[in-house]
A and B are shown apart, each in its own frame.
Chain A
Amino acid sequence: MIELKNLTKKFGDFTAVDHLNLQIKTGEFFGLLGPNGAGKTTTISMLSTVLLPTEGEILINGVPLTRKASAQKRKLSVITQEYSMRQDMTISEVMEYQGRLYYMSRKEIKEKSKALLEFADLYRYKNRVVRHLSGGMKRKLMICRGLMIDPEIMLLDEPTAGMDALSRRQMWSLLRQINDRDLTIILTTHYMEEAESLCDRIALIDHGKLDTIDTPHNLIAALGAFAVDEMKDGELKSSFFRNRQDAITYLSDAPEDASLRTTTLEDVFVERIGSHLMKK
């Protein structure tokens, strides 16, 4: 289990993460959602020890995570938002470097690297330098590098950012397969559809604070599983209903262009976080 206890990160006067408390169960696919600047990447950076908390702590199975905690760090693998790897290394060298950093034997590095690169369809490019790879190939390489070490916990910071729809779907399928191995995954994403499809539980954060936490199903149900969209004063307005009958009744009195649909996680995000932003 991963526990974030009163986790706070300040940059001068600016508080990026504000007393965040979370408990993430072993084997869980956990989503961290929020608008730009909500503190998602800062939280991931603290989980990867690149940033140290101003206050609070992170515990993995009850043991504090610090830069010196080699045993804890051995369990972790991070896929950052940016392509955080040597751009002048070849694909093979990136994989070997990762293996060496995690004390793998040369034989193990060779075998594992080949299997993963073949799985991601990158093996034939193994001698290509990273800076000459496409964005999608770099993302796949980051996943392969992350899996090289058989982690127990994987931190994914917007792993599909900038990918086309097809590559994104391929990535989802890959992530589901990974999660089936009982791996704990913490995902940050701007794609609500991605979070809804992949995550067991989701935490919405805004201005570094926890807004709400639940399963995608419960978050949607709490807002109302059915939505009616209609144009009011030149703006698209959505009304939410817990059951279909109420929605249909409402729709019968609504203008002709109104439509009924099921509520999505994006609606939850817009209603909860968007309303805060509007107020500000």
Chain B
Amino acid sequence: MGIITVLWEKWTEFKRDFYKITLAAMISPLMYLVIFGMGIQTTSHGEPYLNYLIPGIVAMSSMTGSFSAVAQNMSVQRLYEKALDQVMISPTPLWQFILGQIIGGSMRGMYSSCIIMLLTMPIHTGLIFNGYSFFILFLDGMVFSTIALVLSFTAKSYADAPKYTSYIITPMSFLCNTFFSTEQMPAGFRQIVSILPLSQCSSMVRSIAYGENPGYLGVIILLVYLAIFSTISFIFIYKKKNL
């Protein structure tokens, strides 16, 4: 029931800011596709670079969409509007509130990814996006929603939210299998970047897009991230003395 309430709140927000949300989800990814995929025409792994880029941009959109939906919203609610107080005092179990935020954030991430899929559909790349791709994108969105929750619970001021984007989301966008393969990175650094959630998501979505079997290891890694960050969010909301 509490999960439905949070999803209703997210839906209300989505309806109100539909154009803003949709445009924000389109602009940066479209720029990347136009500049790197169409402007600088090249090949990668024997395929047109655009075919390499699209699955990476789809995965990146799921990350940025879900992260920004939760991080901005929660930071504003907790630090500026103090609207989180209304939830804290209500009888809605706080684990349901957290789960609602995670699912709602992930759905926003999925929406961002779907926009990119729709926009690139007329290009006829032959890339495949199936149910498994959507499952992986949803899982990726859940992971980044929980990361956003943890960070927004630790934020000391409203200005911290953009900092997290600069320090975490932007580097991941560029390094984690979006624009080039992590295999090209120096050893040591490569292993670290490869295990990050976006690298796993991009790699799996790309494999499916090429008609290959992505395996299940990536899913397990994403589930581990989800378990770790969800546990931290639950600990914060129940135990943090000064929320």
Contact = CB atoms under 8 A, between A and B. Distances in A.
Interface of A: 11, 48-52, 54, 67-68, 70-71, 73-74, 76-78, 80, 82-89, 93, 96-98, 100-103, 145
A197 to B, nearest CB: 27
A85 B81 contact: yes
Interface in B1-21: 1-2, 4-5, 8-9, 12-13, 16
A89 B12 contact: yes
B12 A93 contact: yes
B86 A101 contact: yes
Contacts of A70: 91-93
A82 B85 CA distance: 11
Contacts of B92: 70, 101-103
B26 interface: no
A52 to B, nearest CB: 4
Interface string B210-243: 0000000000000000000000000001111111
A71 B84 CA distance: 19
B242 A84 contact: no
A86 B81 contact: yes
B83 A85 contact: yes
Contacts of A103: 1, 91-92
B24 interface: no
B1 A50 contact: no
B91 A102 contact: yes
A75 B133 CA distance: 45
Given A49-B88, A85-B81, A103-B92, 20 more contacts: A48-B85, A50-B88, A50-B89, A51-B242, A52-B240, A67-B94, A67-B237, A68-B94, A70-B92, A73-B90, A73-B91, A76-B89, A77-B89, A83-B81, A84-B83, A101-B2, A101-B87, A101-B91, A102-B90, A145-B86
Contacts of B241: 51-52, 54
A97 B9 contact: yes
Contacts of B1: 103
A100 B5 contact: yes
A80 B83 CA distance: 10
A51 B243 contact: yes
Contacts of B93: 68, 70
Interface string B137-181: 000000000000000000000000000000000000000000000
Nearest to A98: B86
A97 B242 CA distance: 24
Interface in B77-109: 77, 81-94
6 contacts: A49-B89, A71-B91, A82-B82, A84-B86, A86-B81, A101-B86
Contacts of B238: 67-68
A86 B8 CA distance: 14
Given A52-B241, A97-B5, A101-B86, A87 B91 contact: no
Contacts of A68: 93-94, 238
Nearest to A131: B81
Contact of B77 (A51, A86, A101): A86
B1 to A, nearest CB: 6
A63 to B, nearest CB: 14
Q: Which of A67, A70, A145 has the most CB of B within 10 A?
A: A67
A11 B9 CA distance: 33
A138 to B, nearest CB: 12
A101 B89 CA distance: 10
Contacts of A49: 88-89
A216 B110 CA distance: 59
Contact of B89 (A54, A71, A73, A97): A73
Contacts of B243: 50-51
B242 to A, nearest CB: 6
Nearest to B97: A101
Nearest to B16: A88
B212 to A, nearest CB: 44
B85 A50 contact: yes
Given A49-B89, A54-B241, A84 B81 contact: yes
